[in-house]
Amino acid sequence: MDTFVENFHLRQCVERMQYVPFGRTGMKVSKVSFGTGTFSQLYGNLDETKALEAVKYAVQRGINYIDTAPFYGQGRSEEVLGKALRNIPRKAYYVATKVGRYEREFDRMFDYSAKKTRESVERSLQLLGLGYIDVVQIHDVEFAPSLDIVVNETLPALEALRAEGKIRFIGVSAYPLAVLKQIISKAPGRFDTVLSYCRNTLFDDSLKEYIPFFEEHKLGIICASGHGMGLLTNGGPQPWHPAGQQMKDVCHEAAERCVKAGVELGKLAMHHTVQMQGPATFLVGMQTPALVEINLDAFFNGLSNKELTVLQYLKER
């Protein structure tokens, strides 16, 4: 395994982890990957010490793909991740960040210009403390004034940064799957990875119909947020969550059922999401070693009979 480092990794965990070819990049990524959207105010108060421990804990156990973005805490996520990476050999992980989405106020949130794209990557390198970034993704392209701006400004700026050796691969993310298909069709062969989130969960399986298209374009597929950005957890979503009330009520009812049964809905959601064929990696937000453990347990050991019974009950209803 390309990212294995003797005397750093726990060999028995790394041997159990599945590593999957990441599109045409030549990278092999762990089936479970580490999301750091949680390293920001988006998911409540962050215990930085635990967050730093969580990154090391995850990488030692074989997770080799870590995702961040300037939007997560307006640089906070990248800064905290950068601190964590200082204690981890560079060979042991791949890191991905994003461009295009930045501030919390909506009128300043998005900027897909070439100038901002370059400034953003330079800042990410600085915050992460790295000489190069493995993947830079164009964040939530559905919010660009037009997809032409992405093709004519954002993408060429990233291609120039790649030629300078500052980034290795280029990706794209969005919530509407049709928009992902549109942008990939507009710029064939220019994207290496695609990130789709909340589209392979207990309440939405629409990603599966797009998998053949992404595979045809030889993209590394990242399936993110099988927990529906917190909807499918016993703790429930954050106040800002964009889901409608009916969806929140249904997920709350599911969480209550899990609490009564003494199981974690998040673990059931994780188990469900990783069954999908096609994605190279399943990206999940984690900010403590305990959460890493729950997600790895769902992946390595599956579910107990009691957990399977509860999952079956939820699926039927």
CATH code, domain carrying 228: 3.20.20.100
DSSP 90: G
Q: What is the pLDDT of residues 180-234, one digit of tens each?
A: 999 999 999 999 999 999 999 999 999 999 999 999 999 999 999 999 999 999 9
CB 286 within 8 A of CB 34: yes
Task: List the catalytic residue out of 19, 65, 72, 93.
Answer: 72
Q: What is the pLDDT of residues 193-204, one digit of tens each?
A: 999 999 999 999
For the chain, percent of residues with pLDDT exceeding 90: 96
Specify whether 65 is catalytic: no
The reported pLDDT for the residue numbered 129 is: 98
pLDDT of residue 284 exceeding 80: yes
Report the alpha-carbon distance of residue 135 to residue 258 in Å, rounded: 37
The reported pLDDT for the residue numbered 229 is: 93
For the chain, percent of residues with pLDDT exceeding 70: 99
Alpha helix segments (H runs only) across 200-244: 211-216
End-to-end CA gap in the chain: 42
Residue 204 included in any domain: yes
- Indicate the pLDDT class of residue 1, thresholds 50, 70 and 90: confident
Residue 251 included in any domain: no
Report the alpha-carbon distance of residue 17 to residue 108 in Å, rounded: 41
Q: How many CB atoms lie within 10 A of CB 51?
A: 21
When divided into structural domains, the chain yields a total of 1
- Indicate the pLDDT class of residue 259, thresholds 50, 70 and 90: very high
How large is the average pLDDT for residues 124-146?
98
Domain that holds residue 38: 11-243+265-303
Alpha helix segments (H runs only) across 233-304: 245-261, 265-273, 289-301
- Indicate the pLDDT class of residue 36, thresholds 50, 70 and 90: very high
CB 95 within 8 A of CB 80: no
Residue 6 included in any domain: no
The reported pLDDT for the residue numbered 45 is: 80
Q: What is the pLDDT of residues 101-125, one digit of tens each?
A: 999 999 999 999 999 999 999 999 9
Residue 234 neighbours by CB under 8 Å, 6+ apart: 255, 258, 259, 264, 265, 266
- Indicate the pLDDT class of residue 317, thresholds 50, 70 and 90: confident
The reported pLDDT for the residue numbered 22 is: 98
Report the alpha-carbon distance of residue 195 to residue 185 in Å, rounded: 15
300 burial type by CB count under 10 A (0-12 exposed, 13-18 middle, 19+ buried):
middle
DSSP readout, 137-187? EE--GGGSS-HHHIIIIIHHHHHHHHHTTSEEEEEEEESSHHHHHHHHHHS
Report the alpha-carbon distance of residue 61 to residue 52 in Å, rounded: 15
The reported pLDDT for the residue numbered 173 is: 98
Instruction: Specify the DSSP element, H or E, that contains 116.
Output: helix 114-128
Residue 299 included in any domain: yes
Report the alpha-carbon distance of residue 192 to residue 198 in Å, rounded: 21
Residue 2 included in any domain: no
CB 8 within 8 A of CB 60: yes
- Secondary structure of residue 18 in the 3-state scheme: coil
CA angle, residues 103, 106, 111, in degrees to nearest 5: 60
How large is the average pLDDT for residues 258-277?
96
Residue 150 included in any domain: yes
Q: How many CB atoms lie within 10 A of CB 74?
A: 14
The reported pLDDT for the residue numbered 204 is: 96
How large is the average pLDDT for residues 128-155?
98
Beta bridge partners, 278, equal: none
Residue 171 included in any domain: yes
pLDDT of residue 43 exceeding 80: no
pTM for the predicted model, two decimal places: 0.97
Residue 170 included in any domain: yes
- Indicate the pLDDT class of residue 42, thresholds 50, 70 and 90: confident
The reported pLDDT for the residue numbered 227 is: 95
